[in-house]
Amino acid sequence: MENVFFDIGLIIIVATLLGYFARLMRQPLIPAYILAGAIIGPAVLGLVTDAGLIRNLAEIGIAFLLFMVGLELDFKRLKCIGGVGSVGGLIKTAILFVFGYFIASQMNFTGSEPVYIAVVLSLSSTMVVVKLLSDKQELDTLHGRIVLGILLMEDLIAILFLAILAPNSVGFPIVALIKGILVLGLLYLLTRSIFPSLFKFGARYTELLVLLALSTCFLFSMISHSFGFSIAIGAFIAGVSLANLPYNYEIASRVKSLRDFFSVLFFVTLGMKLVLTDISSLVPTLIIFTVFVVVFKPIVIMVITSFFGYSIRTGFQCAMSLAQISEFSLIIITSAMMAGQISERLFTLTILLAVITISLSTYFIEFSRQSYEMLRKALKVFQVRLPLREFEFMDKDTKYNAVLIGYDRTGYSIVKKLHMMKKKLLVVDFNPEVIKKLISQHVHCIYGDISDIDILDRIEFRHVETVISSAPVKKDNLLLIKKVKEKNPKISIFVTAYHLDDALELYDMGADYVILPHFIGGDHLSVLLEEVTPDISKLVRRKIKHIKELKLRHRLGHENANNRHIHS
């Protein structure tokens, strides 16, 4: 027990040190964790050599991480991109599988190995992508929702692959499919009949709610294992079963620390699995597979998203998010290795491919905006179809008086006031659900990101009097000020900042007023105190008015504002 404790402690300490150094150097954390595993694992220093411990930690890490992934898959958020998520995801996986199988069969792989290689190359990592997009607060963006839809379809396909390719299921895919249907049927039964009342009571007590969520994770993992599937599949299904409960936000926030802890364990153990002996013989094959994943796969994704009517920018961000192999691929390949269906060479190759592509994809996602601006002209060749205008309601002949960037939360009150002032308003927002809602209310709007120069070029700023940005991202607001002032020096620009230094820099760059939400709250309270003191009846009237406003916000879905993210 002491050895296990010290091994885990060593993993966390080294990962922390390298993670701290990575952040000082403004680098993503995932490559630092993988490097930590390689250093302390058998390949380099050999400080942790217990193969059983490494395998168990990786399996537990994957299980809890996939539980969190499932928990964050709110199907309601995916309904506006159902076509590209389901059909597009299926087409993308099929194309990559066929090309992957063809490439593998032309190389020195025999037996069932080309099939496993095709599976590995065709799937992307739900766990990695959700974590990175969540860290960047881009899960609610259009490309974030498309990526989630594609990943959900891939996860269903991966579960089918696991069922068919599992050692005890080879040759009996129908039996495996029946077992899978039984597990999903049980999930549906529990979600519809038992979980709502069970969690309704448990939600009264925070500790009990967390225990219920974890118990669900373990229960489905045990059921999945008893049916011959991986415990990770059961954990993922458990997360999905809780994702659409009214308490999923609270559960996710309480279990988030577990996700962070086990994500460290997973990525460190991934690095510990590296075997560096005779690696030179794998380099040519590794280069081919890496190019397939980080070049060919993104091209396929961009063409598919363009075919479904999305802009090349959206397609590029989707492509950059999916340019890695999946944790399901690691589960499948590990199972095949233990069953003797693949060689140790292919197993090592897959681990190296996972390390390389996951590390690269963290940079792709982190710097996707900058990369798009650099490659914008060259990428137009992948625009096979003009973008649909499904996510906009804008009249080219209308001379707008005001442009609001970011509707949700703060922007809602601003829109009300501008309409009362009879101003012709255009709203820009990066959340497709918000745009759809505004279109239904006949509010002029356009889906977009203020860091996208194409969007700024499409808006006619010559007649605009006021631009208001509720987005708190400094670099985006700096770009906005620069581009808008170039087109109309007389325009008044209101931007938002969370920090004093950022506010002062924005003023230096030409902002007419910088909104600091925390300070405004204090200013509002001071005015309110002056207004209602000592007349208590005024306070009562303000209270009644405030309650009505809060109830309206509740009906509009603003109660979860802390879980919503504005990027435009």
Residue 300 pLDDT = 92
The count of other CB atoms within 10 Å of the CB of residue 250 is 18
Q: In terms of domains, do 377 and 412 share one?
A: no
Q: In terms of domains, do 538 and 476 share one?
A: yes
Closest CA to 150 of 364, 318, 299: 318
Answer whether 317's CB lies under 8 Å from 116's CB: no
Q: In terms of domains, do 329 and 406 share one?
A: no
Within-domain flag for 332:
yes
Interatomic CA distance for residues 15 and 21, integer angstroms: 10
Within-domain flag for 27:
no
Provide the CATH number for the domain around residue 83.
Answer: 1.20.1530.20
Residue 438 pLDDT = 83
More confident residue, 255 or 481: 481
Residue 299 pLDDT = 93
Is-above-0.95 flag for pTM? no
Interatomic CA distance for residues 332 and 323, integer angstroms: 19
Residue 128 pLDDT = 80
Residue 170 pLDDT = 42
Q: In terms of domains, do 397 and 358 share one?
A: no
State the chain's mean pLDDT as an integer: 78
**Any bridge partners for residue 144, and if so which?**
none
Residue 167 pLDDT = 52
Q: In terms of domains, do 409 and 344 share one?
A: no
Closest CA to 129 of 345, 297, 372: 297
Residues 165-224: pLDDT tens digits? Answer: 655 444 455 666 676 677 777 777 777 777 777 777 877 777 788 888 888 888 888 887
Within-domain flag for 411:
yes
Residue 92 pLDDT = 92
Within-domain flag for 228:
yes
Within-domain flag for 72:
yes
Residues 111-141: pLDDT tens digits? Answer: 888 988 999 999 998 878 877 887 777 777 7
Confidence of residue 555 (pLDDT cuts 50, 70, 90): low
Q: In terms of domains, do 420 and 366 share one?
A: no
More confident residue, 347 or 521: 347
Residue 89 pLDDT = 86
Residue 43 has pLDDT above 90, yes or no: no
Last residue of a domain, one of 334, 359, 382: 382
Q: Which residue has the tokens 């009214």?
A: 246
Provide the CATH number for the domain around residue 539.
Answer: 3.40.50.720
Residue 500 domain boundaries:
392-563
Q: How many CA atoms lie within 13 A of 455 on its CB side?
A: 27
Residue 506 has pLDDT above 60, yes or no: yes
Within-domain flag for 14:
no
Q: Which residue has the tokens 């703060």?
A: 410
Q: In terms of domains, do 313 and 414 share one?
A: no
Interatomic CA distance for residues 424 and 426, integer angstroms: 7
Interatomic CA distance for residues 555 and 557, integer angstroms: 5
Residue 475 has pLDDT above 70, yes or no: yes
Q: In terms of domains, do 75 and 200 share one?
A: yes
Within-domain flag for 188:
yes
Residues 441-472: pLDDT tens digits? Answer: 888 888 877 777 777 777 888 888 888 888 77
Residue 332 has pLDDT above 60, yes or no: yes
Reduce the DSSP state of residue 392 to 3 states and report it: strand
**Any bridge partners for residue 446, and if so which?**
392, 428
Q: Beta 425-429 vs 402-405: how paired, if at all? A: parallel
Q: Beta 445-447 vs 392-393: how paired, if at all? A: antiparallel
Interatomic CA distance for residues 225 and 219, integer angstroms: 10
Determine what percent of the chain is predicted with pLDDT higher than 70: 83
Residue 77 pLDDT = 58
Residues 380-421: pLDDT tens digits? Answer: 887 776 666 667 777 777 788 888 888 765 667 777 788 888
Domains contained in the chain, number:
2
Within-domain flag for 31:
no
Interatomic CA distance for residues 353 and 319, integer angstroms: 18
Residue 1 has pLDDT above 50, yes or no: yes
CA distances 115 to 24, 166, 296, 358, Å, are 42, 13, 18, 22
Last residue of a domain, one of 338, 363, 382: 382
Residue 60 has pLDDT above 50, yes or no: yes
Last residue of a domain, one of 328, 353, 382: 382
**Any bridge partners for residue 428, and if so which?**
405, 446
Q: In terms of domains, do 361 and 421 share one?
A: no
Confidence of residue 429 (pLDDT cuts 50, 70, 90): confident
Please report, in angstroms and rounded to a whole number, the separation of the first and last CA atoms in the chain.
Answer: 51
Q: In terms of domains, do 410 and 378 share one?
A: no
Closest CA to 213 of 240, 251, 175, 249: 251
Confidence of residue 294 (pLDDT cuts 50, 70, 90): very high
Q: In terms of domains, do 237 and 371 share one?
A: yes
Q: In terms of domains, do 362 and 467 share one?
A: no
